[in-house]
Structure formats: C-alpha cells, structure tokens
Structure 1
Amino acid sequence: MTDTPQRPLRVLAAMSGGVDSAVAAARAAEAGHEVTGVHLALSANPQSFRTGARGCCTIEDSRDARRAADVIGIPFYVWDLADRFKEDVVDDFVAEYEAGRTPNPCLRCNEKIKFAALLDKALALGFDAVCTGHYAKVVLREDGSRELHRASDMAKDQSYVLGVLDERQLAHALFPLGDTVTTKEEIRAEAARRGLAVAKKPDSHDICFIADGDTQGFLAKRLGRAEGDIVDESGAKLGTHEGAYGFTIGQRKGLRIGTPAADGKPRYVLDISPVDNTVTVGPAAALDVTGLTAIRPRWCGTAPSGPGSYTAQLRAHGDETPVTAELVDGTLHVTFAEPVRGVAPGQAVVLYDGTRVVGSATIASTVRATSAV
C-alpha cells in the first residue's frame, strides 16, 4: 500500500522555487500536515536571475519559493548549505571528472544534502519528514518497512536519482507528486488554480551549479587546460584536446578530429585515461558493454543475498534493461542480458524489481563486448 500517514506530521518542505516543489508543499499542507517551507541556499554567490531554464538556487528562486509559501500559508526559511553543497557535490563532481569518471551530481545531492544534511537537521528540530517535489512513491509494507517505487507516471519518474536513499531516509520522506498520473501541464494548471506564480516558470535543466550549461568551461576553470592526444584503438594520434575531463564515454560531437575514419562512419569516445591524459575514440560497436562492476552500493531496504534477476537503469532518463546481479564482498557485479552502449565509470546503476527500487551503486568498471584499446 502507498504510505499515507494516519496522523498529521511536522513536515519540512524543500522548496526550490520551482513549480513541482511548490505544488508538493501545497498538497502536504492540504493533507493536514504542519508544513514549514525551506529554501536551500546552495551557492556562495547566487546570480540574481537564472539564464532561461538553466540553473537553480538563485536569488530569484529563493524569492519565488518565499512567495509560494506565502500563498500556501506556511512559515518559510532560507537555510545556507552552500559550504556543505560545495564539499559534497561540487568538489566531488570536479574530482570525479578529473579522475576520468562521469558523475551524476543529482544523486549525490539527494544522498548528501536533501536526505542527509537537510533531513538530519529537520529531525534534530523535531520534524517528522522532509517533503520534496520528486516524482516517486514510498510504499509502506504490512511489516512496517518502506519501499521506494517508480512514480505512477513513468514519463516523469525520478526514482533513479533517489536510488541512493536507505530505508531510514525513506521512513522520513514524502513525495506528494508520486501518485499523480498527470502531465506536467496539469501540474502547472494545479499551481495556477492554487494561485502560485511559479505555474509558468520554466523547469531547470542540466547541472544546477553550471547555469550556462558549459560543463567543459566550468571544469577548465577549476582544473586548468591540459593538452593531450586523441588516439584511435591502435594508438595512432588523430588530434589533440585541452583536457581529458572534457569528454564522456559515448560522446560523438565535439571531438574535433580532422581525419575521417577509414569506413567513413562516426567515431565515439571509448576510453578516457587521466594518467596519460589520452582520449581513445573508435566505432560505435566498440561501445557495447556486457557487464560492469559497481562500488559503494546503497540499498533501499535489505541488501539482496545471492544472485538475482532485475532490470537496471543507467542514466536519469534511460531505459531499463534486464540484468543479473550479485553482491560479492561489497562489490556489485552486473551482467546484461543484451549488450548496452555508453556506460561510463562514475555513473550510477540502479536496480529495479518491477517498479521497486532495489538500490544503487557507482559504476567502477565495465566489460566490453570487444576490446576498446
């Protein structure tokens, strides 16, 4: 059954300044909970205005969140978590790219900020739960344990970025939008009916702390430019780059290789070596992956024992693929039923049993169908 608390709770609603979190806070208040809104100030130097639909956590966003709280009729505060966000999310993001991996900062933010730093502070202040505008469901089982499930609307499901939550965190999480099978337009219409000015505000996209969307430029400012070689699978030099951190596994565009492939087909990034600052490119078929190992597993409940059959999701908006998986000495070993492409170390693999999220782990290595180098 879906987790619908029988008694009013003291709820801390994380309000980003967007429409989803505003409607979630309004629904929690309408359900009879004692709701307090909080906006997380995550940037040490917030811009006055976002650039179109990019970025978040700006002064404009905090003001939008405050106005929404006023309309809902709930208390509102701004909490400064900029130092914690920089250390746990931004610095981690830069370090992962420097090491040749492709991180997902949204997962890290959910794990370290919204359901660790924020939740811990909320519980210390006597709140029962943290409410967010994520599209996912917490299901209460008859034995009292909780499970994380996909949202009713698969098109908006965000359970992938919540796969880092453990059972304790799920026990204090509310996702009022998760049971809703509606379009985003209907959520906006609901916001308008409630008198929330954010009804027409564009969604934020890309990485919230890179407002202009230029990830390579952001990394270059922090890591410096370091010229290296772009080579093919045989090791032949095809071109140069200004930093291996500017590439991701499976990337096709922006390679700036003047020499065409012998077969005339596009080439993709196959490997990134931070040790010698080399980027290896090759044909799409060389991206096929048959398995992977993943570290730092986090389970949404009891850890699975022995090998099992699941589906896996490898990116926030990716498709599911059938797998077998087994935890061996703290490392998750995953084998795909059919080869998949574009799997990069640093990404998260999230396992599902039907709609239930089993857990998440960070990809450490992959097994290629054919050798990449």
Structure 2
Amino acid sequence: MISITPTTLVLHRNPSFFFFFPSTTTRPNPTYPSFFTVRSSSSSSASSTSLQELEKEQGELRSELYASAPFLPIKSAKRVILVRHGQSTWNEEGRIQGSSDFSVLTKKGEAQAETSRQMLIDDSFDACFSSPLIRSKRTAEIIWGSRETELITDSDLREIDLYSFQGLLKHEGKAKFGPAFRQWQVDAANFNIDGHYPVRELWARARSCWTRILLHESRSVLVVAHNAVNQALVATAIGLGTEYFRILLQSNCGVSVLDFTPQPEGRSPFICLNRLNQTPNSPIAAGSSGGRKTSNRIILACHGYTQSNPEASTSGDLPMNMLGIIQSQKTAELLLDLKVSSIISSPKKACFETAMAISRIAWVLTVCHAMWR
C-alpha cells in the first residue's frame, strides 16, 4: 500500500472546533506542488519523485494525488455550508441512485428541505452552488427561496458515478455483480466497475469543485448536493483520502459547515470543520446516520473554556471559567434526550467538571455508570 502526503497536517483543537492546517515546518508552495513524498508500508524510507513520474508509474492513484494537494490561497475569509438533498423516491425504495437523474423528492423530502431552510434562515448566503440532478436542485430551490441571485449548477457536484449499479435495488446488485458488489461494500476506495474507480474519480471531482467555490467572490456559500460528493468535499478539505469514504456520512438535508481563513504569503488557507452532519433534529439523536441504522454511538465532547486565556496553550490543569461552565451546561441540555450508558473522562479538572455537568442530567433520565480516567 502506498500513501501520498504532499504536506504535513496538524490537528489543532479549541473548545468548539477542529482546525486542520499545514504544519509550520512544511510550507507548501501556493501553487500545486511538483513533488510529493511517497511512503510505502513495505519500506520505512521515503523518496521523492515528480508528479509526472508518479502518474506514469501509479496511474491508478491519480485521483488521490489531486485530492491531497494543498488548496490555492484565498483573499478573504469564506464560509461554505454543505447540504444534502431531501429524501428522494429512490432513497425510499432503497434503489442505487448514483449520478442517475430519475428520482425526485418525496413529500417527506420536500418537508425536510423546508425544515433545513428554516434552520439556515439566519445565514446570509451570497451564492448557491447546486448539483444539476433534480433531487438536489429542488432542495436548493426550497432553501434558496426568493433570493434574486440565480443558482449556480455545477456538474462536478453530481452524485458519485456508479455506472452499471445505477437503478438497481441493493439485493439486485448483489445477485447480478457478486464479488464486485461485495468490494463496493467493504473496499469502496479500490472498487472498480466498467473500467472506472468511482470513489477515486469522486475525490478528484471534489478537488475541482473546491477550486471554483473558493475562487468565487462570495464570502458565504451554500452548496446543495449529495451524500457521497459532500463526503468527498469534507474529506478533501481536511486532507483525508478515499479510505474515509462512508466515514463522513451525511443524512438527508444534513448540514456540514467549513470555514476558510486566508493566510499570509500566499499560503493555503486554514480550514475549520465547524459542523458535521447537523440535522434539523438533535445532532446527536440516536437511530441512524446518513440513512444507515446505528447500534452503538460514541459522542466526543470537549471541555468548556478554562480560567486561563481561551486562546492560550492547552497545557496545564485548570478548572473552567464561567463561560466554560455555561458551555458545559448547554452541552448537557443538548444530550437531554439521549440515553447515556457510561461516561469516560480525562482526569483534567475542566474535563471532569464537564463530564459531571452531563452526568447530573443523565442520572435523572437513565441509569448511568460513570467511569473516570
């Protein structure tokens, strides 16, 4: 297995968000780099080679190369809101849609889109990019409402191309394609059908979309598309490869938000994944994720602000300040309808205090066995 890393990524955390940005020790060229570092699982040594040589020797990895390249610099801050379309007729039937355009929104899907419109009513969008497929475009029209600015349809925002699979019920795909359908289920990144690698192609398309979205003059952009392509948009923004397909699922009319902050000297922007798959219901409501049933759920909560400067280093063991206490109480309220079986906490004071705030409410609703570490 070969992984290609054009730049080192650092995960930076504050009490509200996760930030992904290039390491200060490795500054990428503001244009697409001509050299990549190649790491192989069969060798501990790393070697560098040109993009042209890699394309020649590893043609099947071409989409990953483009997916992992650093973003072009931006001039001003930009927020991008990704929304998946509402339930479609083929969603309801359990039919494989892919990039086909035969399904439309159900009544439930129309209602979901209207609920999302109300949920986003305080957001002042400057532009709306939409997939050209009917189910997505109709969702965009509902959310966009009576704004005078026209929707921007982008073919690269269409759903993943699944070729011969499209239109089949899932059991039909299994019966007709056997091993290929099994690979699609368990190893989608390397899945091949009709001479194509759909997930790799999708990652390349996502990169292409980001270029147009970020170069657009607007500061707040609504993007209405599909589950798979929105996964690819999030993944390519934060530097994740095709192996993360199906990890970043998005429910019908779920909302994900990314914030882009310009950096000096023409460097790639800081990218903050602000929200991921927020739905009109509680974002942690049990039951399903991206249309798939869930049996177990782990919720990661960060402690509130501490008594030190909120922007200061995360080192030390300090209790929360008043803002942190309020934040922990709000988190506890968000979890009101969730049955918590156990809580595992860091021994740090702020973490323990946050866990205690949650457990006080959880104890009232259900038997909760807290475990502190």
Q: TM-score under structure 1 normalisation?
A: 0.23
More strand by share: 1
Q: TM-score under structure 2 normalisation?
A: 0.23
